Structure 1
């Protein structure tokens, strides 16, 4: 079934090629063939997949990447959330990027399902993940002439931290559905979103959090039914996309709990990200930046709009019907905005 789905996407792309951007003097078919071609690529044998070695203080491990398409000036590296989730959350990009001629790279960070999963808590630090992204960039041959970094949720934290250290390698930055302050994210969850819930449900959730009873199945059930379907993905549970459910099934809970805590209802317990706050550093980001916020997100959309004004060269994309995974529940707004940003930066219209 998976192979059939891949063939179907491929055929749909071929049918839509007449609408893809083309270089002057080249036919539509030629532009399409070049985007699709693996000829003379070192990943032809694997269909675009590369297992990239990552050097750490604890040894060398491998991370999984898969490149889709060819575009010498637009290459988007996707940083998934979690931490410990997978690239599968972004498989809907297949429905939008190919017909625009945008090259993009799926990537499972170290510890995630398709990459190596070492059992060592010392590896799960923001600083080490930043160095991992830099090693991935070098291995894929990305540079300031073509490298766009798109990070969502935890991936947004990682994208910001990467930009603070390595923005000279970036052509464009997309911060999707992530605030620049975890304490302010927590405050938004506890003082704005929580009180919107049924008071008895909210009281029960808070009681379990105060008791640190996060392993209680009732805690997860209440959050999924009353919070996730309102603020993570605004669809009935039986309509959640298969790729999202697959990503949840493949999540590495060790990484997730160590850094994020037990839920998306703020960062709980002694998770290492609980004090992360870079709002005073946002002005350091010079590279063209798109910040994406959504009305029903777990993150405060007004904070994301502020971030877009705080960076030196920013734009805000607001998804009025979206939540945390607004690439699904406000899909047209999301992809129209991201594609416009990428093309504007590429054509120097930003």
Structure 2
């Protein structure tokens, strides 16, 4: 290629309209790379939560609610491989008492009511509104997303419930009656014996789960192939809030946990905004129940991937295809 050709191509490139998606200039969070520590007012004081904005979009902004409770935004670590190319803005967020946020460590705040109001304060601080605000909740984050929508759906453009059913009793029934019997008999008996003795701290319990259950229903890859972001999420998980709200068992939520009787299945019909139910064939959550949930909300769609509980990692093609199509269909008015 001649120097003249190179010069012409350079000028041509400069004349192309530059995307503002990754332009953080002249923004208040430019110096922090999109990180905002947002003050949250609670009944026991004011504390800061971590958020990190990725990209810019005037009409497609997705706030990500992680699982747990007590997990971290790290579970969404591969969103960077899919959403930027679509110029969809997404916002990482660690809920109070999660790793990157403040940790008052007070059970007074460990309620769905508190976390709904926390999301609302984050929404206001980030200027999210019905013209641009999509809320995506995965696992426990799905519970939180449904609860938020039931109280504040007028602030939402779209709702995405990822890998979570609307009823903990249904989740428990599926785990105990469908998933547990799929384990080898000797493995199931050993797990049940450990749980009966409430010996959850026994290293053998985690070993059995990791080898026989997690690689089937949490992330369908050999443990040595699990992505670093998921390993970090497990490493950073806050066990105190997790056990308080979810319990120590992985075969449902235990009776003494505060979420044990949570159920909004009869209230799904109240949700009017466009809603995507993102389930998975091998999930800990019943995919057929998630399909049903999409028929209960007033404007629902379901996508069932071939993955498991974190299907963004073990079936990213179908997960992100379903997610991106939904967001773009809502944005374009195909769903409203």
TM over 0.5: yes
Match of 2:4 in 1: none
Q: Is the 8 A contact 1:177 1:292 kept in 2?
A: yes
Match of 2:321 in 1: 336
CA RMSD of aligned residues (A): 1.2
Correspondence for 1:103 among 89, 92, 110: 89
Distance 1:132 1:330 in 2: 31
Match of 1:241 in 2: 227
Match of 2:58 in 1: 72
Match of 2:240 in 1: 254
Match of 1:293 in 2: 279
Q: CA deviation at 1:269?
A: 4.7
Q: Is the 8 A contact 1:212 1:269 kept in 2?
A: no
Distance 1:222 1:91 in 2: 26
Say if 2:301 is the partner of 1:315. yes
Q: Is the 8 A contact 1:264 1:298 kept in 2?
A: no
Per-residue CA deviations over 1:52-73 (Å, capped at 9, x if unaligned) read 0000001000000000111100
Distance 1:60 1:212 in 2: 36
Q: CA deviation at 1:88?
A: 0.4
Match of 1:19 in 2: none
Distance 2:18 2:249 in 1: 45
Distance 1:211 1:183 in 2: 22
Q: 5+ residue gaps in structure 1?
A: 1-26
Match of 1:113 in 2: 99
Q: Secondary structure at the match of 2:21?
A: helix
Distance 1:326 1:180 in 2: 18
Distance 1:178 1:194 in 2: 18
Correspondence for 1:221 among 200, 207, 215: 207
The count of aligned residue pairs is 322
Correspondence for 2:312 among 327, 333, 337: 327
My pick for the range that moved more, 138-147 or 215-224, is 215-224
Q: In the superposition, relative to structure 1, how do residues 262 and 31 fare at CA in structure 2: closer, same or farther (>3 Å)?
A: farther
Q: In the superposition, relative to structure 1, how do residues 208 and 340 fare at CA in structure 2: closer, same or farther (>3 Å)?
A: same
Q: Secondary structure at the match of 1:106?
A: strand
Match of 1:266 in 2: 252
Per-residue CA deviations over 1:75-97 (Å, capped at 9, x if unaligned) read 00000000101000101000000
Q: Is the 8 A contact 2:217 2:309 kept in 1?
A: yes
Say if 2:158 is the partner of 1:172. yes
Q: Is the 8 A contact 2:195 2:249 kept in 1?
A: no
Q: Is the 8 A contact 2:311 2:319 kept in 1?
A: yes
Q: Is the 8 A contact 2:219 2:314 kept in 1?
A: yes
Match of 2:3 in 1: none
Q: CA deviation at 1:30?
A: 3.1
Q: CA deviation at 1:207?
A: 1.8
Q: CA deviation at 1:110?
A: 0.4
Q: In the superposition, relative to structure 1, how do residues 200 and 77 fare at CA in structure 2: closer, same or farther (>3 Å)?
A: same
Structure showing greater radius of gyration is: 2
Distance 1:30 1:159 in 2: 37
Per-residue CA deviations over 1:85-121 (Å, capped at 9, x if unaligned) read 1000101000000010000100000011000011211
Say if 2:333 is the partner of 1:348. yes
Match of 2:17 in 1: 30
Match of 1:61 in 2: 47
Q: In the superposition, relative to structure 1, how do residues 108 and 134 fare at CA in structure 2: closer, same or farther (>3 Å)?
A: same
Q: CA deviation at 1:214?
A: 1.5
Q: CA deviation at 1:204?
A: 1.3
My pick for the range that moved more, 54-63 or 40-49, is 40-49
Per-residue CA deviations over 1:110-157 (Å, capped at 9, x if unaligned) read 011000011211111111000000000000000000000000000000
TM-score (norm 1): 0.90
